[in-house]
Chain A
Amino acid sequence: MLRVALSRLLQGLLTLLMTSVIVFVLARTSGSPVDLVLPSEATAAERQAYIERNGLDRPLPVQYGVFLVNALQGDFGTSLRTRQPALDLVMSRLGRTLALATLGLVIALVVSVPIGVLSATHREGAWDRVGQGFALLGQSIPSFLLGIVLILVFSIHLRWLPSSGIGDWRNYILPAVVLGWSISAGIVRLLRSSMLEALGAEFVKLARSKGLSEATVVWKHGLRNALIPVLTFVGFMYGVIIASAVVVEVVFGWPGLGYLAYESTLWRDFPVLQCAVLVYTAIIVSINFLVDLGYGIADPRVRT
């Protein structure tokens, strides 16, 4: 187990390193920072001075080395727009995005786990149709559309919930529901099929033959097994909602990491964008790492 964990950790670091190369190369090939940073009326001498000061005349690998060494020390440069350190900007936004994505994940689980289980236990019955309808809608309604519909209904028409910005807990609800919605369909469908498989297993027959209540058989013996394949999917989807929060944050004017990344792209604020992409990567790598560890806890067969 320890060896697996270490090798996963190493893989994660490697992913991060490769992402940094890609991010660096993309940033450098999409235009010289000189044109971005200096005003267009800057003289040739000013340009030359900037290039020498920042080492932009040195070979690309050397520049990457400098970038990497700085990055390892937490220095991703300063925002071209606000002059603040890029890392500080990114970190100040990260918490909001994680809070929103986590709430979205919790909402998705709270709704889709019972639906998934009930559609398996009431196969071809009413619950199963509810689950199938839910899964179909979940797959066919894109999150930006759902976001707009929810704003129209709950903010503009009913005036129950704010449509944008941050304030109190009410600001979390609509964007978190939209984020949760985007992954619920997948959880319902996956859980339904793995639950059907678990309930058909011999150990469920044995559990019933012991005289256990149907609730214990389904929610303890069945679900514990059925959740194992779902765990990987949910971990992966947590990364997906963090990344796809860009759309939702823009729709709801939520000043999180996604919104920052969106703004930095519009402003061509490369230091911030680079930093944001690397932080995204680091988060997704850590989630995958945690999912692997969690898998080992959930399934004793892979623990050894």
Chain B
Amino acid sequence: MTSADTLLQVNDLTVEVKGARGVGRAVDGVSFGISAGETLGVVGESGSGKSLTCLSVIRLNPKPASRIASGSIRFDGRELLELDAEGLRAYRGREIAMILQDPMTSLNPVLTIGDQIREALKLHRGLSRADETRVAEDLLARLRVPEPHRVLRSYPHELSGGMRQRVVGAIALAGRPRLLIADEPTTALDVTVQAAYLALLRKLQREEGLAILFVTHDLGAVARICDRVAVMYGGRIVESATTATFFSGAAHPYSRALLRSLPDVSKPPERLEPIPGQPPSVFAARKGCLFADRCPEVQARCRELEPPQSSVAEGHFVHCWARQP
């Protein structure tokens, strides 16, 4: 999967979490790559390890609750896991920026929006104070925030959720990053605001040649902005494909179940088909295919051996015994 213009290459990433029941694997041998200008969508049920995977990229995974146990995270050829805290800090914000899920809690309530944007500008661009304000206003304007001048002097609680998430976007872009990690950036927004925000991300990505790692529950959002999709289940990537291939010919039974649970807007509304059963606990034994208990196509070996990766087509990989050639 590694190609010359791969910006971020994650290989065999394993993240352990500590809980009352011992140590579990929340991310289990995850590999993926993102090229400049590309958007990779990561989808999967709640608890499948999506957030932990992307937080681990810049080592913001919760501590001491979790630990990166093994793997490799290469950014622009540089191994991030070998860097010390100070070395990694040079990548945060400047090369890799982050948009968190909840705009209501991700801004500091006691600092003005201006303080929070200028802080990033000062750190990454070393501008003069007057320039900082001008650039901050420009950033807000690019994220279509009305009256940037006034917003700079506001506090987070004075803005709507949609506006706050735009501010978070502006902060993310302040360091002119090459990779943007967006962990469910639209989940907390209402539907019309969601669509506008996604369109904005797409536009910014084209303008800046930004690579985006886009985590979502929402397959609709995937269809709108992702070039490729990786499906996570129980801490593993079970399928990855281009967006078009995924929607037309998903191979893994779990991916197909996810797609079936999506309401089809072209047909009259019908009942959603939730996937029966429960996702596996991170503390459960990791034997065989983790989806086996819920899988309609389960075979005997599924419960015994972990399915290897097989290639369905160029750029389309799946881990499933039922899809072995």
- Residues of chain A whose beta carbon lies under 8 Å from any beta carbon of chain B: 201-203, 205-214, 221, 224-225, 228, 298-301, 304
> Once the chains bind, are B110 and A206 in contact (CB under 8 Å)?
no
Contact with A along B84-100 (1 / 0, CB 8 A): 01000111111001101
A228 partner, pick from B85, B110, B112, B120, beta carbons under 8 A: B110
- A to B CB contacts below 8 Å, 28 in the list: A202-B100, A202-B102, A202-B106, A203-B105, A203-B108, A205-B55, A206-B100, A207-B108, A208-B60, A208-B92, A209-B60, A209-B92, A209-B97, A210-B175, A211-B89, A211-B91, A211-B93, A211-B94, A211-B124, A212-B119, A221-B108, A221-B111, A225-B109, A225-B110, A228-B110, A300-B110, A300-B155, A300-B157
Given contacts A211-B91, A211-B94, 12 further A-B contacts (CB under 8 A): A203-B105, A203-B107, A206-B100, A206-B107, A206-B171, A209-B58, A209-B98, A211-B93, A211-B120, A213-B89, A221-B108, A299-B109
Across-interface contacts of A206 in B (CB, < 8 A): 98, 100, 106-108, 168, 171
> Once the chains bind, are B100 and A205 in contact (CB under 8 Å)?
yes
Closest to A206 in B: B106
**Secondary structure at chain A's binding surface: helix, strand, loop or mixed?**
helix
> Once the chains bind, are A299 and B110 in contact (CB under 8 Å)?
yes
> Is B23 in contact with chain A by the CB < 8 A criterion?
no
A224 partner, pick from B58, B89, B90, B108, beta carbons under 8 A: B108
Chain B contacts with A in 158-180, Cβ cutoff 8 A: 158, 168, 171, 174-175
> Is B123 in contact with chain A by the CB < 8 A criterion?
yes
Give Cα distance in the complex from A304 to B159, angstroms. Answer: 13
Q: Min CB distance, A218 to chain B, in Å?
A: 13
Known contacts A210-B120, A211-B175; decide if A203 and B92 are in contact (CB<8 Å).
Answer: no
Give Cα distance in the complex from A209 to B101, angstroms. Answer: 13
Q: Kindly list the 5 A-B residue pairs having the minimum CB-CB distance in the complex, ordered from nearest.
A: A211-B93, A211-B92, A209-B98, A300-B155, A202-B105
> Once the chains bind, are B92 and A210 in contact (CB under 8 Å)?
yes
Closest to B103 in A: A202
**Secondary structure at chain B's binding surface: helix, strand, loop or mixed?**
loop
Give Cα distance in the complex from A212 to B108, angstroms. Answer: 14
A214 partner, pick from B58, B85, B124, beta carbons under 8 A: B85
Give Cα distance in the complex from A207 to B106, angstroms. Answer: 9
> Once the chains bind, are A203 and B106 in contact (CB under 8 Å)?
yes
Closest to A302 in B: B157
A210 partner, pick from B85, B105, B112, B123, beta carbons under 8 A: B123
Known contacts A214-B85, A225-B110; decide if A301 and B123 are in contact (CB<8 Å).
Answer: no
> Once the chains bind, are A211 and B90 in contact (CB under 8 Å)?
yes
Give Cα distance in the complex from A228 to B110, angstroms. Answer: 10
Across-interface contacts of A224 in B (CB, < 8 A): 108, 110-111
Q: Min CB distance, A215 to chain B, in Å?
A: 11
Task: Tell me the number of A-to-B contacts counted with CB atoms below 8 Å.
Answer: 78
Across-interface contacts of A298 in B (CB, < 8 A): 110
Closest to B85 in A: A214
Most buried by A among B94, B106, B123, B171: B106
> Once the chains bind, are B119 and A210 in contact (CB under 8 Å)?
yes
Q: Min CB distance, A5 to chain B, in Å?
A: 19
Give Cα distance in the complex from A273 to B81, angstroms. Answer: 70
Across-interface contacts of B124 in A (CB, < 8 A): 211
Closest to B95 in A: A211
> Once the chains bind, are B123 and A212 in contact (CB under 8 Å)?
yes
Give Cα distance in the complex from A34 to B293, angstroms. Answer: 94
Give Cα distance in the complex from A201 to B106, angstroms. Answer: 8
Across-interface contacts of B91 in A (CB, < 8 A): 211
Q: Min CB distance, B184 to chain A, in Å?
A: 12
B60 partner, pick from A201, A205, A221, beta carbons under 8 A: A205
Q: Min CB distance, A98 to chain B, in Å?
A: 29
Closest to A224 in B: B110
Contact with A along B183-199 (1 / 0, CB 8 A): 00000000000000000
Give Cα distance in the complex from A208 to B108, angstroms. Answer: 12
Contact with A along B273-298 (1 / 0, CB 8 A): 00000000000000000000000000
Give Cα distance in the complex from A213 to B93, angstroms. Answer: 12
Most buried by A among B93, B105, B108: B108
Give Cα distance in the complex from A228 to B119, angstroms. Answer: 22
Closest to B86 in A: A213
Across-interface contacts of A209 in B (CB, < 8 A): 58, 60, 92-93, 97-98, 100
Give Cα distance in the complex from A244 to B191, angstroms. Answer: 58
Across-interface contacts of B102 in A (CB, < 8 A): 202
Give Cα distance in the complex from A221 to B171, angstroms. Answer: 15
Across-interface contacts of B97 in A (CB, < 8 A): 209-210
Closest to A200 in B: B62
Give Cα distance in the complex from A299 to B108, angstroms. Answer: 11
Chain B contacts with A in 109-155, Cβ cutoff 8 A: 109-112, 119-120, 123-124, 155
B108 partner, pick from A213, A214, A225, A228, beta carbons under 8 A: A225
Q: Min CB distance, B9 to chain A, in Å?
A: 20
Closest to A298 in B: B110
Give Cα distance in the complex from A37 to B265, angstroms. Answer: 94
Across-interface contacts of A203 in B (CB, < 8 A): 105-109
Across-interface contacts of B58 in A (CB, < 8 A): 209
Q: Min CB distance, B58 to chain A, in Å?
A: 6
Most buried by B among A205, A225, A304: A205
Give Cα distance in the complex from A221 to B120, angstroms. Answer: 13
Give Cα distance in the complex from A298 to B168, angstroms. Answer: 23
Q: Min CB distance, B288 to chain A, in Å?
A: 35
Chain B contacts with A in 210-256, Cβ cutoff 8 A: none
Known contacts A205-B100, A301-B155; decide if A211 and B123 are in contact (CB<8 Å).
Answer: yes
> Once the chains bind, are A210 and B106 in contact (CB under 8 Å)?
no
Across-interface contacts of A210 in B (CB, < 8 A): 92-93, 97, 119-120, 123, 171, 174-175
